[in-house]
Amino acid sequence: MTAEIIYKGELRTEMRHIGSGTLVETDAPKDNQGKGERFSPTDLVASALGACMISIMGIASRTHQIDLVGVRFDIEKIMVADPLRRIGEIRVVFHKPEHLTFTEKEIQILEKAALTCPVMLSLSENITKTIHWNW
């Protein structure tokens, strides 16, 4: 088992990761009857994409001795209703600290790693994934 999820009322859940005991709460977003005081489930899906991309880049960086400390992804989730409410697009913007430099080969390695992360490969083709790289 991966997680246990308990409905707390008022459109809030509490998720407990079985392996570590880590807790994460979610709220429905304000535009869907919620309080918007926590990540929504769809926020977590979009954020999971960025976390997965950067994690797989981290694995590649270990293999190829590339320093990634301080790189950042900004995530924007765009909802649509066509006809049902769903994630229509996830925008990902990569930023690197000014002190880091990368060769063309390193950039290719890191981008390929990010674009083949398990979350990217698992998301529906109906979700547009827009990636901007600020090397």
Three-state DSSP state, 9:
strand
46 and 14 housed in the same domain = no
Asked whether residue 61 is domain-assigned, the answer is yes
Structural domains of the chain, count: 2
26 and 50 housed in the same domain = no
pLDDT digits (tens, 9 = 90+) for 104-122: 999 999 999 999 999 999 9
22 and 82 housed in the same domain = no
Asked whether residue 66 is domain-assigned, the answer is yes
130 and 97 housed in the same domain = yes
Cα atoms in the 13 Å half-sphere on the side-chain side of 4: 9
25 and 87 housed in the same domain = no
Helices 104-115 and 41-64 pack at an angle, to 10 degrees, of 140
pLDDT digits (tens, 9 = 90+) for 48-93: 999 999 999 999 999 999 999 999 999 999 999 989 999 999 999 9
Task: Please state, in angstroms and rounded to a whole number, the distance separating the CA atoms of residues 38 and 41.
Answer: 9
DSSP code for 126: T
Which residue segment(s) compose the domain that 27 sits in? 3-32
pTM surpassing 0.85? yes
67 and 89 housed in the same domain = yes
Cα atoms in the 13 Å half-sphere on the side-chain side of 135: 12
Asked whether residue 37 is domain-assigned, the answer is no
115 and 53 housed in the same domain = yes
47 and 109 housed in the same domain = yes
CATH code where residue 56 lies: 3.30.300.20
Q: What is the dihedral of CA 96, 102, 104, 106, to 10 degrees?
A: -90
User: In this structure, which amino acid lies at residue 80?
Assistant: V
Three-state DSSP state, 104:
helix
- What per-residue confidence (pLDDT) applies to 95? 98
Task: Please state, in angstroms and rounded to a whole number, the distance separating the CA atoms of residues 16 and 20.
Answer: 8
For 25-85, the three-class secondary structure string (H helix, E strand, C coil) is EEECCHHHCCCCCCCCHHHHHHHHHHHHHHHHHHHHHHHHCCCCCCCEEEEEEEEEECCCE
